[in-house]
Amino acid sequence: MIRSELDYIVGDTKGKEVRHLYVMTGGALDINKNLVFMPQLKFRWAENSPYDMDLNAGFMFYDKFYLASTLRVGGAFENWFESLDFLMGFHLNDNIFLATSYDITLSPLQSYENGSLEVLLQYKFGHKVKPIDIINPRCSFNKFIYSINIFYDAIRNNQ
């Protein structure tokens, strides 16, 4: 991680750039033909700040309905748990996804706020194109062996 000098001072206000680290991973595991388990992990860290980590477990039903829960940990050292989130969404069609989530605050901030409700409307531009299977004989092992056998036969027959 490269450090840069983008700090600035304007009047009494001083801004300082610090390094950040984001690590994200996840996957989709088919449980059966109508159910997919989608775990995710996101880790965030910045210099002179506590870390944050999101642990997410989601399920997709029939490639249409989505249910998930997220636990956010980190933040203050006195309280490891920051929030618990619940998400529900569904695909209206191939291009439109509608979801809502509710965030329950678990940190000391809960004495000032009761959580939040969020709504997401996602639209995919363009059309969905079915992938085309392309076989490249230079990359396909079976085609490679077949090509060697043909080449060997051709050399043997010409001798």
pLDDT of residue 147: 47
pLDDT, tens digit, for every residue of 133-142?
555 444 444 4
pLDDT in the model for residue 73? 87
Within 8 A by CB and 6+ apart from 22, the residues are: 42, 43, 44
What's the confidence (pLDDT) of residue 9? 63
**Which residue in 94, 98, 93, 90 sits closest to 129, CA to CA?**
94
Q: Give me the amino acid identity at 20.
A: H
Query: Tens digit of pLDDT for each residue in 83-106?
Result: 889 999 999 988 888 999 999 888
126 touches 94 (CB < 8 A): no
pLDDT of res. 128: 60
d(CA 91, CA 63): 8
Integer Cα distance of 46 and 56 in angstroms = 21
At position 83, the amino acid (one-letter code) is S
Per-residue buried b or exposed e for 79-89, using 16+ beta carbons within 10 Å of the residue's own CB: eeebbebebeb
CA–CA separation, 55 and 131 (whole Å): 32
Indicate the pTM of the whole model. 0.63
Q: Check if the beta carbon of residue 74 is closer than 8 Å to that of residue 51.
A: yes
Cβ pair 40, 62 in contact under 8 A: no
Those residues of the chain that have pLDDT short of 50 are 136-152, 154, 159
For residues 116 and 102, is the Cβ–Cβ distance under 8 A? yes
